[in-house]
Chain A
Amino acid sequence: DIQLTQSPSFLSASVGDRVTITCRASQVISSYLAWYQQKSGKAPKVLIYAASSLQSGVPSRFSGSGSGTEFTLTISSLQPEDFAIYYCQQLNSYPLTFGGGTKVETK
């Protein structure tokens, strides 16, 4: 099974900060990686897929990069509505797996 390791697990930041979250895969997954945002009590929402493609309707301050085993999600200028938990997911092969999550908190 492919393991995804996200870092950091917690991140304190302020509005306007540039935020970067890393996701490392235990095997090569090409670009079959997606990023999700989840707010308390809500279902996850896809932000990025194919490692770097922005999902329709998602603000351009979100971007993704990487391929192979190392991936990053970047928020260029953190907004108040971006405080949430972020998950990466690999869709390269079954069983599909999620990273452990990164909670972005206000500093």
Chain B
Amino acid sequence: EVQLVESGGGLVKPGESLRLSCAASGFSFNTYTMNWVRQAPGKGLEWVSSISSGGSYIYYADSMKGRFTISRDNAKNSLYLQMNNLIVEDTAVYYCATIDYDILIGYPRFVYWGQGTLVTVSS
């Protein structure tokens, strides 16, 4: 069974840092592009960042570039998000999710999601 379990969320003050983790199991983690997606309270989904299976290709949403760093450790089946200089607007539930490609037609979609971890930035 595929499982993605996020951890590391909590309450922090503006300007502080936090590191989120996502522990993966039940699939070949080292073959999947992984993502972080966030959702502010009562708001919609916002893609945060993606990292390719080997870690060579990394992308960020513009609003997080320079403050957030995505990484992965394939030996530990784990995905990370280092968040620095947090602002109130970063308050959200953070999900990790896999990109899966259809075998026949090659189109991607986010199939597996974790349960999310809540980050609250408040003074």
| Interface residues of A, Cβ cutoff 8 Å to B | 1, 31-32, 34, 36, 38, 43-46, 49-50, 53, 55, 87, 89, 91, 94-101
Contact = CB atoms under 8 A, between A and B. Distances in A.
Among B47, B62, B97, B115, chain A packs the most CB atoms within 10 A around the CB of B47
B115 A43 contact: yes
Interface string B99-111: 1001001011111
22 contacts: A1-B62, A31-B107, A34-B108, A43-B95, A43-B97, A43-B113, A43-B114, A43-B115, A43-B116, A44-B45, A45-B113, A46-B110, A49-B109, A53-B102, A55-B109, A87-B44, A91-B109, A94-B59, A95-B59, A95-B61, A98-B44, A101-B45
Given A1-B62, A53-B105, A101 B44 contact: yes
Contacts of A45: 113
A96 B47 contact: yes
A34 B47 CA distance: 14
Contacts of B61: 95
A44 B109 CA distance: 12
B16 interface: no
Interface of B: 35, 44-47, 50, 59-62, 95, 97, 99, 102, 105, 107-111, 113-116
Given A32-B107, A43-B113, A87 B45 contact: yes
A87 B44 CA distance: 8
By Cβ-Cβ distance, the 10 closest A-B pairs, closest first, are A50-B107, A49-B109, A43-B113, A94-B59, A96-B47, A98-B45, A34-B109, A101-B44, A91-B108, A46-B109
Nearest to B113: A43
A95 B47 contact: yes
Contacts of A44: 45, 95, 110, 113
